[in-house]
Amino acid sequence: MNGFLNILKPPGMTSHDVVNHIRKKAAVKTGHTGTLDPAAAGVLVLALGKATKLAAYVAGEKKEYRVELKLGTATDTFDATGIVTATKTVPPLNKMLLSRVLESFRGPQKQIPPMYSALHYKGKRLYQLAREGKEVARPPRDINIYSLDCVQIKTGAVIFDVSCSAGTYIRTLCVDIAAKLGTVGHMSFLVRKKVGCFAIDQASILEGFQEAGKEALERALYPLEYPFKERPFLELEDAQAVRFKNGGRVEIKGPLIDSGIVRVFSQGIFIALGKTESSLEKTWLSPLVVLG
C-alpha cells in the first residue's frame, strides 16, 4: 500500500494520534507531511509505504489556513490552550485599518518561532523548555506570506485567510498582527484548508476508516506522483533508468530544461523525483528520491 492520504483532522487529536490510527489499519510504514496542533483542524496529509520517502517534499509545499485571532488577551502558548499572560484594550477596528495592517505582513520576511514549538534546542524540544519556565533565543527563519485577507471582523476578534510558505507559525503571525493593531492577542482557532494540491473539500473523515477494511484506505489513496503533478516530467530510456536508479546522473537529450525538481518515469511508471541542472547546451538529471 503506497500513496498519500488526505485526512480531515478533527480538533482534539494530535497528528501522531491520526498517524497511529491509520498505521494500525494499513499495516505499513506511515508518517505525516507536517503536523497540525492538537486544537487545530483541517488537512493532514499522510504518507503510506513508499510515499514516506517523498513526505519531506510535500511538507515543503505552500499551506493555506483560515484563522481566528482573538484580540485583547495574550497567552504563553500564543493560542487558546495557554495561560493568560496579559490583557489590553482593543482599539476600534474597521476594514480599512485591518487591510492596511494585513498588507504590511505580505511577502518574504523573517519570523521568530514561538517557545511552544517542536523545534529542537540543544537536544530538547522548545516546548519542553517552555514548560520548565525557560526561554531561549531563537534564530529568525525565512518565511513568505503569499496572501492575507480579512474574512470577518467580530467583536474582539478577526477571522482571516492566509496562504504561506512551509515553516510559518500562524500563532506568531496572530501575535504580531495584534501588536500592529495596538493591542495583544492569540490564535483562538485554526483550520488548515490546503497543503500543496491537497484541499479540505477532498479530505477523508477519519471516522470513516474505523470500521472499514484496508480496501477503503486503498480507494482513498492518492498515487505517489499526485503531489507533484504540476511539475515537469521526464521519461528515461531503460539504460538511463538503470544508471539513474543507482545514483548516477544522466544527460537529457533535447531542448534545455529549466533547473528544478521533476517527476521521473521509466516505461510509464513513476520511479523518482529528480533535479535538473542546465549548463551550456546540456541538461543533466540527478536523483533526489528513488522509489525503487
Catalytic residues: 37
Cell 492538537, located at residue? 38
State how beta strands 250-252 and 198-199 pair. Answer: unpaired
State how beta strands 204-205 and 3-9 pair. Answer: parallel
Amino acid at the residue 22: I
C-alpha–C-alpha distance, residues 154 and 151, integer Å? 10
Nearest to residue 39, comparing CAs of 157, 171, 158, 199?
171
Identify the three-state secondary structure at position 201: helix
CB 33 within 8 A of CB 141: no
C-alpha–C-alpha distance, residues 256 and 276, integer Å? 10
C-alpha–C-alpha distance, residues 99 and 59, integer Å? 29
Amino acid at the residue 40: A
